[in-house]
Amino acid sequence: MSSKNNRPNQRIGRADQDRIEDARQAMMHELWHMRALRTVRVSDVFMRLGREEFAPEVAVEEVYAAANAVVTKRDEHGRAVSSISAPQIQAFQLEQADVRPGMRVLEIGSGGVNAAMLAELVGDTGEVISIDIDPEITAQARRLLDANGYKQVRVETADAENGLPESAPFDRILTTVGCWDLPPAWITQLTDGGRIVVPLRMRGLTRSLALDRSGDRFVARSAETCGFVEVQGAGAHTERMLLLYGDQVALRFDDNNGPDNPHTLGGVLGTERATAWSGVTVGGMESFEDLLLWLASTLPGFCSFAVADDYNPDERAPHLVDAGQRWFPTAFLHSDQASFAYLVSARRDEGVFELGAHGFGPAAEDAVATMAAQIRNWDHDHRGGPGPQISVWLYNTPDKAMIPAGDPEGSVAVFDKHHCRVMVSWPTPAG
């Protein structure tokens, strides 16, 4: 496939072209180092495509920064509603999708640059259709694609919840917005042997899943940690936020696992803070994303701990952490529904941090001990392991039909959505 992105831009000077090429080469090196890029096919597309042409008002260094997303539109509250995903995320999603020449691909969430890369991958015999609910975004994507030689990409304004039935079926459905649920339309519009790549939110944690049909369920062949702007329209899902200290500190519940009566947490930050350390340490640059999913799987009241950037504790507002400590946006509501604990770390040595929990409420001691115990369980049974198997089932599938598909001796959690049930199955501990 030919496009103007396959040759130097004649409108800019040699010095700027050298600057762009340096930024591109640095990005490519980092993407391979991150293992976001894994195949030559996808790597070649990144090398050919001029990202700067799809974000002309953004500095070259920002456009080519491997982990940098470029916000293209914000709502009236300043919240991002559309963006060009970071190259790192685009790369691993394209690797997850495994798009081949001749395929028909539906992209959900328009921007231009990702659709252009999909067009390169499907070639002259394939087809790419990009949809977005926002006509301003689709109009911009259309302009950018036309200007860069990708007139063959179709761009439609539509609600992602419905897919695009008049153009189905699709070999691949690639979603570039965060989703809480899996709409039935995507399943019915997929070919046999097709694949859905979707950033799916589970208890507030988002993983980009490469979902393949396996009998009566979809099985994730890979799961990548990511963050996306949230889907709009019929598929939008609002978290339940429980304010604990004005608008400065809150618990956010992604599923129906919050307190029955939110008033039971009134004044909880005025109680004495409890602490439990797990004895489990991590390196300063070490990822422990699997731990967060493990806690979401094993702590029924799992939620997000949200603290305003300008939170300034005084005699009325408690210190959430002490000097040398750090809090994480990971928490859970104790079964008494009047206490909670949240994940923290403390520096123990140069580049070494111990994980633990702080908590508040009448059952805070039990809450922090429970979280610390689950940290130890993860460390003993699953740290460094293959991680969980994630599968998606129809909403009316009974538990007894789901569990045998997982590891009956392992730990299984089921997150219920409107249209589906998501099962996270952890393997039996070795030994």
The catalytic residue positions are: 85
Other beta carbons less than 10 A from residue 202's beta carbon:
22
Residue with tokens 């979809």: 218
The Cα–Cα gap between 331 and 345 comes to 13
**Contact (CB, 8 A) for 31 and 91:** yes
The Cα–Cα gap between 50 and 47 comes to 8
Query: SS in 3 state form for the chain?
Result: CCCHHHCCCCCCCHHHHHHHHHHHHHHHHHHHHHCCCCCHHHHHHHHHCCHHHHCCCCCHHHHCCCCCCEEEEECCCCCEEEEECCHHHHHHHHHHHCCCCCCEEEEECCCCHHHHHHHHHHCCCCEEEEEECCHHHHHHHHHHHHHCCCCCCEEEECCHHHCCHHHCCEEEEEECCEECCCCHHHHHCEEEEEEEEEEEEECCEEEEEEEEEECCEEEEEEEEECCCCECCHHHCCCCEEEEEECCCEEEEECCCCCCCCHHHHCCHHHCCCEEEEEEEEEECCCCCHHHHHHHHHHCCCEEEEEECCCCCCCCCCCCCCCCCEEEEEEEEECCCCCCEEEEEEEEEECCEEEEEEEEECCCHHHHHHHHHHHHHHHHHHCCCCCCCEEEEEECCCCHHHHHHHCCCCCEEEEEECCCEEEEEEECCCCC
The Cα–Cα gap between 254 and 258 comes to 9
